[in-house]
Structure 1
Amino acid sequence: MPYNKNKQQGFQAAQQGAIQAFDAFDQLVKDGADYGSQLKHLKEEVNEAYAQISNALEVATEAQRIQLEQYQKDLQEIVQQVNEE
């Protein structure tokens, strides 16, 4: 049972990390006075989410793996959008 609990905890941590990164991206104001600090915060959130997703993928169920890989794709889109600005 602990193994399944670890799977769920890892998935939930990755999910929360991805949500926090998405929220940081949504709050990014390109022409805002504190854009630099917002961008730094976004970078930290994205890096944290990637790490949590990577850890969760090691023990994920197939259904969790599909969702985690989608989070990775969504995060990559955020990185690409920010780099294009």
Structure 2
Amino acid sequence: MAELKRQPIPKDVRERVAARAGYVCQKCGGDQSCEVDHIIPWVISHDDSETNLQLLCLPCNRRKGAKVEAGRKTWFHADYFGVGA
């Protein structure tokens, strides 16, 4: 089976995500060294859609790594199947 390779996120998509976030980290509110991050890591979801992207500063993004953060509703959460948790 061929391995999927992640493509760079287009500049216009990165800009829309940053603008939506007010150009500050969505975790700590910092505005230095911010970068676009996958909410559900790409290695899990292969999803580059804007709804799966957020702006995080470098330290917050490195702490998060390739994890799904606790409390984050994902596609496998019961609410996504119409079943209240």
Name the TM tier (shorter chain). under 0.3
TM-score by structure 2 length?
A: 0.23
TM-score by structure 1 length?
A: 0.23
The structure in which a higher percent of residues are strand is 2
The structure in which a higher percent of residues are helix is 1
